[in-house]
Amino acid sequence: MMDSGYQLHVTGARGEGVFATRSFHIGETVMVGVIDRELDRNHSHASQVGAQRFVLHGGLVTKVNHSCDPNCGIRLNAGGAHDYVARKLIVAGQEITFDYAMRNYRVDHFAAHCLCGSPHCRDRITGWKDLPAHRKADYHGFVAPYLTDIDNQRAPAIRPSATATWPSPR
Ligand SMILES: [Zn+2]
């Protein structure tokens, strides 16, 4: 059997997680996402895959845990689902993680404290909307593209290229 490169484990306090069974270099696709079904709104297990589009992913990608300093980022694949792409070198045995803020603009559903244990832990699992600017910069190239699109639409004044093309006010 071909090694997919990851497998599901049950660990202590954090429950299930997905762990690498081989190494992945930065930029390598670690897991390929598949959409299970469409949703009519955001909820606790929803993946945002477009500005107004929410889905449930299928398969093991749904078992990947959040970290506030994850080793994977998100890339939209041809099917409109999320692939996980290594943003750090991953070695066999490491847990595969991503940041919910790389995927969902708003995260309103997690009341509990984050257990990721990272020095970057922000305690509450927040969406992209609430991510500090320096963390958004750290995640550059590893977040779903509609998140930065929403930011750009909300703050056109700080985009010189956008203001330059706008008609002047009358
Ligand atoms: Zn955390």
- What is the CATH number for 82? 2.170.270.10
- Specify if 164 maps to a domain: no
**Within the chain, which residues score under 50 in pLDDT?**
1, 162-164
Compute, in angstroms, the gap from residue 99 CA to the centroid of ligand 1.
9
- Specify if 162 maps to a domain: no
pLDDT of residue 164: 47
- Specify if 91 maps to a domain: yes
- Specify if 166 maps to a domain: no
The model's pLDDT over 77-124, given as tens digits with 9 standing for 90+, comes to 998 899 999 999 999 999 999 999 999 998 877 767 898 999 999 998
Contact at 8 Å (CB) between 92 and 23? yes
| Residues near ligand 1 ion, CB 5 Å cutoff | 68, 114, 116, 121
- Specify if 1 maps to a domain: no
Tally of structural domains, the chain: 1
pLDDT of residue 167: 54
- Specify if 163 maps to a domain: no
Compute, in angstroms, the gap from residue 161 CA to the centroid of ligand 1.
35
- Specify if 165 maps to a domain: no
d(CA 170, CA 168): 6
Compute, in angstroms, the gap from residue 67 CA to the centroid of ligand 1.
5
Compute, in angstroms, the gap from residue 9 CA to the centroid of ligand 1.
20
**Dihedral over alpha carbons 119, 124, 129, 130 (to 10 degrees):** -70
Question: The domain containing residue 125 runs over which residues?
Answer: 6-157
Q: What is the pTM of this model?
A: 0.82
